[in-house]
């Protein structure tokens, strides 16, 4: 493959699609078959992990709450623009490590954008705690993917030096 759709980029797009699909499937499962239908509904699973239905009308850490339809669609527009920037960035990268991190961010962003568009809020449910101490806000798979993707991108930019052969899966094409 040459040009825009290299092997690594196609894999990145597939990873983003899988993250988005799994995020939506789990949200459907939590809100449907598991019965967390109303805000605040809770299911105890483990001594340190529960499912708790939360409607997040803001972005990261609940900031920038969208309390009107105009603010909701504005937030959708801003997050969609950021997702487009991530997509363009991913399609310009060659190294799988960078593409992987960006694909996690993209898949998570699309999952949360879809929620905000369809529901008016992002459905969060994963409630990790140690007794009454909650080191994280209630989150979802999309949030986790975005966070892990950002950590990967930051770690790679600070600590990793890839060789040219790792880019685009070119190790197998250069030696063939």
Residues with catalytic roles? 124, 143
How far apart are alpha carbons 35 and 26 in whole angstroms?
12
DSSP 15-49: HHHHHHHHHHHHHHHHHTTT---STT-EEEEETTE
* Cβ atoms of 50 and 138 closer than 8 Å: no
Q: Which residues pair with 167 in a beta bridge?
A: 95
Instruction: Give the H or E element holding residue 47.
Output: none
DSSP structural state of residue 34:
T
């Amino acid at each position: 493959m040459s040009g825009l759709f290299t092997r690594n980029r196609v894999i990145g797009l597939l990873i983003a699609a899988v993250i988005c699909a799994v995020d939506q499937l789990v949200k459907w499962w939590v809100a449907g078959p598991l019965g967390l239908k109303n805000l605040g509904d809770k299911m105890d699973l483990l001594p340190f992990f529960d499912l708790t239905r939360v409607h997040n009308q803001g972005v990261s850490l609940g900031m920038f709450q969208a309390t009107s339809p105009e603010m909701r669609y504005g937030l959708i527009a801003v997050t969609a623009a950021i997702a487009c920037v991530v997509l363009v960035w991913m399609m310009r990268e060659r190294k799988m490590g960078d593409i992987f991190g960006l694909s996690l961010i993209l898949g998570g962003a699309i999952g949360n954008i879809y929620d905000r568009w369809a529901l008016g809020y992002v459905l969060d449910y994963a409630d990790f705690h140690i007794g009454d101490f909650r080191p994280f806000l209630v989150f979802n798979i999309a949030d986790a993917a975005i966070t892990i993707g950002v950590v990967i991108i930051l770690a790679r930019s600070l600590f990793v030096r890839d060789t040219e052969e790792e880019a685009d899966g070119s190790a197998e094409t250069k030696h063939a």
